[in-house]
Every structure is written in C-alpha cells, then in structure tokens.
Amino acid sequence: MINEKMEKAFNDQINKELYSEYLYLSMKAYFERLNLKGFVNWMNVQIQEEHAHGMGMFDYLHQRGGKVVLEAIDKPKSDWTSPLNCFEEILAHEEFVTSRINALLDVAEETKDRAATIFLNWYLKEQVEEEDSVGNVLASLKLIGDDKKALLMLDKDLAARVFNPPVIG
C-alpha cells in the first residue's frame, strides 16, 4: 500500500499532467488558426505524450493500492503573440513540470518509497528529453526571427514528428 503523502503527491501530479495535455490542446488550436500544420502535428504528439504520462501515474497509483482522485483542470490560455512566444511558454511549462517531478521524488525519498523513486526516475529522464526537444524548436524559432519562409521550412520539419507510445517505468 502506498503512503498517504505519496498518494496525494501522485494525485497532484496526475492533475498537472492532464493540465499539460489540455494546455497543448489549446496551443494546437492556436497553431490551427495560424495554419501551421507541422506545429499542429508537434502539439498532437505532445498531447498524446502528456496523456500517456498522466495515465502512467494513474495506473501506477492503482497498482500500488492507492486511490486516484481527479480534480478540476485549470483553463489554459488560448492566445500567444507568436510561435516564438508560444514555445518560450512551453519551455517554462516543461521546466515547471520538471520541478514538480523533482518534488515528487523528494516525497518518495522522504517516505522511503524506493518503488516510487525507481518509477519516477523514468519521468525525470523524460523531462530532460522534453526540455531538450522544446529547446531545439525554440532555438530554431529565435534564428528564424521574422523570416516567413524559414518558419514554413520549420513547420515542414515539425510535420515529421511521430508519437511513440512510451514504456513508462
């Protein structure tokens, strides 16, 4: 049976993962309005990844005999000033998620829940990859500046991204 404090921390993080899915869905709508289909594809992959992350924790909590308690998901913003601004916010959001995974690991260490520590190490590694992926797109957007042709070339590159269901844990 999972520790009560650990259970609450997992429930809080499940909510944050589902919020991330919701946020990326809002960003997808933004890129749809801009008719940037490659960016839309990039967001589709993010939406699927965040859903998988949340469900991974959902299933883990049940596996450990915990109770999943779903809370309301906050309303995400729906407008950005540019693709660059949007990806700056994505990076800040992913850094926030990383800090929350680290906080979960702190609870696992405090409660001496070694199983949770092992499980969460996958998420920490995933966050390093997430921040790197976003950072690469952000660096390209900074180089592009106001060059619309370069933006369309990046859009074409982002259309090639595919979702690979993660093996969590």
Residues of the chain below pLDDT 50: none
Q: Enter the pTM of the model.
A: 0.96
4-34 vs 83-110: helix axis angle to the nearest 10?
A: 170
Predicted confidence at residue 24, as pLDDT, reads 98
What pLDDT was estimated at residue 3? 95
Q: Which pLDDT score, from 0 to 100, does residue 126 have?
A: 96
Q: How far is CA 140 from the centre of its chain?
A: 20
Q: What is the pLDDT of residues 128-158, one digit of tens each?
A: 999 999 999 999 999 999 999 999 999 999 9
CA dist., res. 56 & res. 40, Å (int): 24
Looking at residue 169, its pLDDT comes to: 77
Whole-Å CA distances, 13 to 83, 87, 121, 146: 27, 22, 14, 37
Nearest alpha carbon to residue 75 among 17, 23, 12: 23
Q: What is the DSSP string of the chain?
A: ---HHHHHHHHHHHHHHHHHHHHHHHHHHHHHHHT-HHHHHHHHHHHHHHHHHHHHHHHHHHHTT------PPPPPP---SSHHHHHHHHHHHHHHHHHHHHHHHHHHHHTT-HHHHHHHHHHHHHHHHHHHHHHHHHHHHHHHTT-HHHHHHHHHHHTT---------
